[in-house]
Structure 1
């Protein structure tokens, strides 16, 4: 059986060792940027919430496949810790070349963890079709491109630093969709491309982690932190209630579907992310949560039946309707609220709207273009592409002593 599986001993460990050597060299100069006043700005519990969300939340959320549980949680942990170090290194380089102002190390780590959400979302689109070597390469490329996108938005389109980070949902979803379109499509009859009650339970556990910690994620770097927490919570609460209501209405026998709940319950947090600190009345956040949840459930029906088959897009975890569509709705809501708020200032209203529309279009366009290029690179023989017959299989990477005869 072992001869049928690729050996990554000569590639993955050495790539990780090379990356860690670069990070160690960079950490030698870390003391130059230590600023203990950071603790006055960022409290550790809030940072810990975001860290739990990315590690536990997305680790369990991606456990949707019956034979890919080890890889979903294990690979997520590895690419997160590698990506955070890489992200801090990238920010150091920007500071070195005077492209970004120097900030405390704690704020850099907070930004790095938030940026890794884009990679976690993209991983959901290609879940089970990429090996660890491909995932590491995709993580490095996506992080660099996301930093370029943020720099464009901040420098040329006048987007605030916090809002530029909230583009992680848009960027991660459409980067992952573009990348997964370059992979061979698995057979719809493939038994491994399905969930079990146990995998659905773990995935729902991940959704609960994400749901609980999402207010901290949306407010960690916001200026009006308490307002962002309040609006995010109300949006999440309404989206969860709406998810149960619409799931019962759209199913044939009136029962709840786990796939609806674990995706649509999170839609409120994504939808309100762009406007969490600018909404002055909680009922607006509640409406956005309702619309976000409805968009997710209705979008899952339309995309899986009408759009994905002709485009040959196999979105393993449904990141398009879980994160992409609610983020698009949130971007539209931000523009509408901006028009309402600046209606009396007609001289600059058109300019502000163009800047925000340009930022969203730039983010999606750059994500799609670089996602296609990255997907093409990932499918080269140099990165040891795996055959379609070995998709969604843990035994391709992990030891199973108790299943030595047959998996």
Structure 2
């Protein structure tokens, strides 16, 4: 490796060794293996989510022409490290009697689902954060996300599985807040663009995420069949709408891969809060349609108008891929909950309906505000010299972290 590239031998390996040693020491209080892997019927659903988070999101983030190794490699590293930390945080909360113990695969599944917030956030800082910064961000974000969930569950009485599905909201806005504290890349930096090959790999990851998303929304839900059906229909409608809107909004009437690999997932994000409770499939289909619309139009407007004005740095577009559809899903869940409760109560107790709506809105506002505030603080912490901040000239470059024996042949 050329001398102008720094070596991470004195930081990353020792940080990983320290963290893994601490995790090993703390894991002696975990339940026996026979308890952890029961019931066995839960394992296929868990593997679906595992494939989605590791393989799907790993390739989904391969949008940059010279950052493919880091996109998939760092994603895998953060997940395997974060899942261990997440399991221990779950066990610690049980020890503090903040939540009830869930022995079995459900605890491991909750840990993997929680890591989705970190994966989404890493997409916002893609190519800018060093491995040390990403590891620190993972640990901090996981802890804050669990704190946010505890607030929603304890004070606002949000069901356990719904607090976990706030990963889209929390991850998107935490990542946007973190990346806003990073220096802006030079305007003419060629490494920050994509190529047909990188977009093809990203689309491959999108397809994997799309296929396994029904399992993601239903793995912890009580009404699994309804969640699977509604999620699949919402995803199907959002995919059709993505192709339609992509052709309508492009200058030459052709499809844009950026629109497709973002908007086809919007339906799954939008119905995540309501997939288990929707009784009529056409409602899920409408939500999938609206989610795709807000994603395509959001990417069209945000990248040209709001991002330059607000100086938002969003490398892989997590705002309009996950953030905006999650906000739409939050609003839809409040409306559907009020309508359902109103029909059941025949609109006699308006004060009760108002209280329910206020609590639901408060839960989403608390999640977003906590993510933004703590994300700004985390971004400031990540940019101290101790954490090996990357110079802006080395953004979006695999060569800064990985060995390339074939570099002379034309990297």
Report the TM-score range of the alignment, normalised by the length of the smaller protein. Answer: over 0.9
Q: Is 2:148–2:370's contact at 8 Å kept on the other side of the alignment? A: yes
Instruction: Indicate the residue corresponding to 2:24 in structure 1.
Output: 24
Q: Distance in 1 between the 2:177 and 2:387 partners?
A: 18
Match of 1:93 in 2: 92
1:260 is matched with which residue? Answer: 259
Residue of structure 1 in register with 2:75 after alignment:
76
> Using the alignment, how far apart are the partners of 2:143 and 2:316 within structure 1?
24
Q: Does the 8 Å CA contact 1:244/1:256 hold for their aligned counterparts?
A: yes
Q: What is aligned with 1:367?
A: 371
Unaligned runs of 5+ in 1: none
- Distance apart, 1:94 and its partner CA: 1.0
Indicate if the aligned counterparts of 2:294 and 2:324 stay in contact, CA closer than 8 A.
yes
Following the alignment from structure 1 to structure 2, what is the Cα–Cα distance between the partners of residues 406 and 217?
40
Show the counterpart of 2:12.
Answer: 12
Q: Deviations over 1:313-355 (max 9, x none)?
A: 1100000000000000000000110111011243411111111
After TM superposition, the structure 1 = structure 2 runs for residues 172-183 of structure 1, keeping only pairs within 5 Å, are 172-183=171-182
| Equivalent residue runs for 1:175-194 within 5 Å | 175-194=174-193
Counterpart for residue 307 of structure 1: 306
1:353-364 correspondence runs (5 A): 353-364=357-368
Q: Measure, in 1, the Cα distance between the counterparts of 2:161 and 2:340.
A: 19
Q: Deviations over 1:165-208 (max 9, x none)?
A: 11000000000000000011112321100000000000000100
Following TM superposition, by how much is the alpha carbon of 1:294 offset from its aligned partner in structure 2, in angstroms?
A: 0.4
State the Cα distance separating 1:161 from its structure 2 match. 0.6
Give the Å deviation of 1:33. Answer: 8.2
CA 1:25–1:67: 2 relative to 1, 3 Å: same
Whether the aligned pair in 2 keeps the contact of 1:153 and 1:164 (CA below 8 Å) is yes
Separation of aligned partners in 2, 1:166 and 1:137? 23
Counterpart for residue 352 of structure 2: 348
Q: Is the Cα contact below 8 Å between 1:33 and 1:105 reproduced in 2?
A: no
Report if aligned partners of 1:119, 1:139 keep a CA contact under 8 Å in 2. Answer: yes
The residue number in structure 2 matching 1:155 is 154
Which blocks of at least 5 consecutive residues in structure 2 are unaligned? none
Tell me which moved more, 199-208 or 21-30.
21-30
CA offset digits 1:125-168 (Å, max 9, x no partner): 00000010000000000000000000000000010011001100
Between 1:238-247 and 1:95-104, the stretch displaced more is 95-104
| 2:278 is the alignment partner of 1:274 | no
CA distance in 1, matches of 2:408, 2:2: 9
* Structure 1 position 291 matched with structure 2 position 326: no
Q: Alpha carbons of 1:385 and 1:374: their partners in 2 closer, same or farther (altered >3 Å)?
A: same
Distance change >3 Å, CA 361–CA 199, structure 1 → 2? same
| Cα deviation, residue 34, structure 1 | 5.2
CA RMSD of aligned residues (A): 1.4
Q: Do 1:33 and 1:103's aligned partners in 2 also have CA atoms closer than 8 Å?
A: no
Query: TM-score scaled by structure 1?
Result: 0.97
Contact 2:30 / 2:91 at 8 angstroms: preserved in 1? Answer: no
Cα distance in structure 2, aligned partners of 1:169 and 1:118? 6
Q: CA deviation at 1:38?
A: 3.4
Q: Contact 2:42 / 2:105 at 8 angstroms: preserved in 1?
A: no
TM-aligned CA distance change 1:191 to 1:253, over 3 Å: same
Q: Which residue of 2 aligns with 1:169?
A: 168
- CA deviations 1:276-328 (Å, max 9, x no partner) are 01100000000000000000000001111111112211100000000000000
Partner of 1:401: 405
State the shift of 1:30 in Å.
Answer: 2.3
TM superposition shift of 1:405: 8.3
Q: Distance in 1 between the 2:393 and 2:409 partners? A: 18
Secondary structure of 1:186's counterpart equals coil
The 8 Å contact of residues 33 and 104 in structure 1, kept in 2 or not, is answered as no
CA contact (8 A) 1:34 1:104 kept: no
Measured after TM superposition, the shift of residue 21 of structure 1 is 1.0
Report deviation, 1:7.
Answer: 1.2
Q: Structure 1's 34 and 350: CA in aligned 2 closer, same or farther, altered over 3 A?
A: farther
Whole-angstrom CA distance in 2 between matches of 1:152 and 1:31: 26
Q: Which residue of 2 aligns with 1:231?
A: 230
Once residues 397 and 189 of structure 1 are traced to their aligned partners in structure 2, the CA distance between those partners, rounded to angstroms, is 22
Number of positions where the alignment pairs a residue of Structure 1 with one of Structure 2: 406
Is the Cα–Cα contact under 8 Å of residues 267 and 291 in structure 2 kept in the other structure? yes
Give how far 1:28 is off.
2.3
Is 1:2 the counterpart of 2:2? The answer is yes
